[in-house]
Structure 1
């Protein structure tokens, strides 16, 4: 085999209660449609022949050194606790330690049923695989912690959802797949030994300077604070922030019904299954705090005196909203060109967002136009911007290089929902040119490349995406 993956599988060495050994299910006619060579090199992977890679990344051939398994976890789904979830359509092949010294998981998503499938077929169709490939790589290019895409493979088999669709498998890479729900399953079972083992594993892998369970809790809090504010800064809506989709590494994970804002409104929801708006754009910080509270509740179950730890855990969780506000202030003031914000500057950023919501302004284009063009053109009533801009320009006169600050904080381009849908439709018909073009554009999101100017355009009325779907 010319394809070489230097596996070093630490998770597979944990006790059997953490997972079920599970090989991927072979598919009929795998065809490699995308491969991320720079990521492969970073992981120390030596690419092989195209056909060979198709076989491996579809799950038809288990490479040497792999230890395929399905991870066990629980989770709160839309606030309701499910004590038994787990990888229902994914298999962790193993881990590599890359050329940068970092350990990463390699997982096949859509690779067939597992003991955790709960009557599902364990498969994915091409649309969500390509959506996750594009959006996760776009998030990486935006500088936001995220899982990444190594490969996408068509399976040559149909997948039945509401209709018959082409099947696919995504080879996903993460610094780990440890979730809040990974801890919750052992807490629910009162398996303190497993919780202790998992806690130490998580500390060793992600936060080696953390001191015990409460140190881990604080480290995860800080990582989530940074992540959530970065989501807000680019108008990203995760869509399904269940605790089983909350990675303790602080990476964005599980791109199901995710989407980016076009027209700004804080209550925007895209997910078709989020009927009550639990995971709306503006509620994401509150949900991050709620998820951390569930993590704290799970962690303290391993302690000899959980009651004694409640106060310390509560202090850590209760400090999170203020940390989010402080990070939001730093990030959103930079978006309006202020590198060293004062208290009054926060109100200026909030006021701009309020006016954007009232005037149907495009989120990405408005912020970028603060440095590059005419923001007033984004507003139904341009005078609403003019009134805001007068004190703003006076404030920028006190900053050293506000244009550079804004250009570094505000991308030119994000993977817009209607472009993703058009790309998927073309790929289903066998045309991958829109996928490749969108990938090329999203690889340099801060560059004003006129070759991709059309991709910056908001959707026309008949192009608007009203709802996004899990694709499971």
Structure 2
């Protein structure tokens, strides 16, 4: 272990048009909020050094560490379906890459580190609230076992930022296996820069999918790999009630990691039409729309890659259509396998999908809490005495009872010990999620009172989402009527 960050950069070796070299802008009075010590250790960085004065200077952008090559990445995208030829990192600066103790290469990026050539008249800064939200939710997603970017640290800057009002400024240090997006491919494709598209695809293969380099058609194989990753990812989002909120193509990582947590939220009561993002006025990115939107985004990726798929456009379209056709079956398989596990089913039988959909429809009609319903089903699977706690979540408890009769008949077809079944269900049905009202309480305490104890407590609870944690039982409860969060906001 060494105090230095062991940078081993590759993206900075790509042609100059892939990025803009830009250092972080120093801040007035950086103050550490939290260091993710386990992640620092994984990256080969001494967490004590990172939490000390030199480390905080790096995390705030006041010091560029040895080996770093700060840059803002260029990308384009479709935002709410609208084509935008140039976006790029407007408030994020990639310091460089490290190869962790697990052999995985990851980016280290400062989010909120000051203006870049892509800032589009923005200040390049981040307010404290969005930094805390991303730290909480990204680390919760990691603990839930969902591919995601991670939070290495959060610091206050000592400067204020102006949004709707004056707010404390902060910087998040984000870690990702890469920050390459569908929109990165679009940046070059929209310019007719085939060499750029090819160089980017080769970089992605070398970084994420080196086994594809020897494939008969590596670019087709790459597209297929990204399609599969994204199909699995969105299925896992739905299985925990996650709503990304701003699924533009520039927020869709080819690595298959969840990226950018601006107006994200989690379901309380199950509702496939649920929308929290204040900027999603027409519900484009509603909970139930997310699989279709991922397919739409991947179609944009395929369009950007067309010249790599075949020499003639029509042939490339045929290849792309064939690859994209795999998205639906892959998503369905992943999603319904997850639902079977959540229901305690270990075998596949005809009618399992109907059984799962019937529960979801009943939950929606009765405003049942998504997370608690599935968690309490574990107790109901152990003994019928657990039914009362599940039924209590439904406006009409009898509606659950009617469904439970079908469920128990299905469980009886499997020779699985009830205690084993319950344990397996509790491994896939979390007790704790980052509930929206809890996140808002964390942000309010930090901004209004400079009190970060609620933030640290919430991060601690969410690090073990599948454990009961009796001391923190209140964190599992849905919000009271006056606590409900109806809108979430992007941090820009």
TM-score by length of 2: 0.94
Question: In 1, distance between residues paired with 2:307 and 2:160?
Answer: 44
How far residue 209 of structure 1 moved from its aligned partner, in angstroms, is: 2.2
Q: Which is worse superposed, 184-193 or 390-399?
A: 390-399
Question: In 2, distance between residues paired with 1:235 and 1:214?
Answer: 32
The equivalent of 2:407 in structure 1 is: 392
Question: In 1, distance between residues paired with 2:323 and 2:423?
Answer: 35
3-state DSSP class of the match of 1:190? Answer: coil
The equivalent of 1:419 in structure 2 is: 438
Query: RMSD across aligned C-alpha pairs, in angstroms?
Result: 1.0
The equivalent of 1:377 in structure 2 is: 392
How far residue 328 of structure 1 moved from its aligned partner, in angstroms, is: 1.3
**Offset from partner CA, 1:327-350 (integer Å, 9 cap, x none):** 111111111111222230110000
Question: In 2, distance between residues paired with 1:405 and 1:450?
Answer: 19
Say whether the 8 Å CA contact 2:263–2:488 is kept in structure 1.
yes
What are the residue-to-residue correspondences of 1:15-34 with 2, within 5 Å? 15-34=15-34
Say whether the 8 Å CA contact 2:307–2:316 is kept in structure 1.
no
3-state DSSP class of the match of 2:110? Answer: strand
Say whether the 8 Å CA contact 1:247–1:253 is kept in structure 2.
yes
3-state DSSP class of the match of 1:8? Answer: coil
How far residue 315 of structure 1 moved from its aligned partner, in angstroms, is: 1.0
The equivalent of 1:368 in structure 2 is: 375
* Pairing 1:440–2:460 present: yes
How far residue 246 of structure 1 moved from its aligned partner, in angstroms, is: 0.1
What are the residue-to-residue correspondences of 1:28-177 with 2, within 5 Å? 28-47=28-47, 48=49, 50-177=52-179
**Offset from partner CA, 1:30-74 (integer Å, 9 cap, x none):** 001110111011111123152222111010000000000000000
3-state DSSP class of the match of 1:209? Answer: helix
3-state DSSP class of the match of 1:378? Answer: coil
3-state DSSP class of the match of 2:351? Answer: helix
- Out of 350, 361, 379, the residue aligned to residue 343 of structure 1 is 350
3-state DSSP class of the match of 2:98? Answer: strand
How far residue 259 of structure 1 moved from its aligned partner, in angstroms, is: 0.3
The equivalent of 2:481 in structure 1 is: 461
TM-score by length of 1: 0.98
Say whether the 8 Å CA contact 1:228–1:285 is kept in structure 2.
yes
Say whether the 8 Å CA contact 2:232–2:330 is kept in structure 1.
no
The equivalent of 1:256 in structure 2 is: 262
**Offset from partner CA, 1:361-396 (integer Å, 9 cap, x none):** 000000000013421111010000000001211211
* Pairing 1:274–2:280 present: yes
How far residue 304 of structure 1 moved from its aligned partner, in angstroms, is: 3.2
The equivalent of 1:404 in structure 2 is: 423
How far residue 3 of structure 1 moved from its aligned partner, in angstroms, is: 3.4
Q: Which is worse superposed, 2-11 or 123-132?
A: 2-11
The equivalent of 1:333 in structure 2 is: 340
How far residue 471 of structure 1 moved from its aligned partner, in angstroms, is: 1.3
Question: In 1, distance between residues paired with 2:440 and 2:46?
Answer: 33
How far residue 312 of structure 1 moved from its aligned partner, in angstroms, is: 1.3
**Offset from partner CA, 1:167-224 (integer Å, 9 cap, x none):** 0000000000000000001001111111111101101111122332111100001100
Say whether the 8 Å CA contact 1:364–1:411 is kept in structure 2.
yes
Q: Aligned residues, how many?
A: 471
Say whether the 8 Å CA contact 2:107–2:175 is kept in structure 1.
yes
Question: In 1, distance between residues paired with 2:453 and 2:3?
Answer: 26
Say whether the 8 Å CA contact 1:154–1:167 is kept in structure 2.
yes
**Offset from partner CA, 1:300-336 (integer Å, 9 cap, x none):** 1345323222111101112211221121111111111
The equivalent of 1:312 in structure 2 is: 319
The equivalent of 1:7 in structure 2 is: 7
Question: In 1, distance between residues paired with 2:314 and 2:91?
Answer: 38
* Pairing 1:196–2:216 present: no
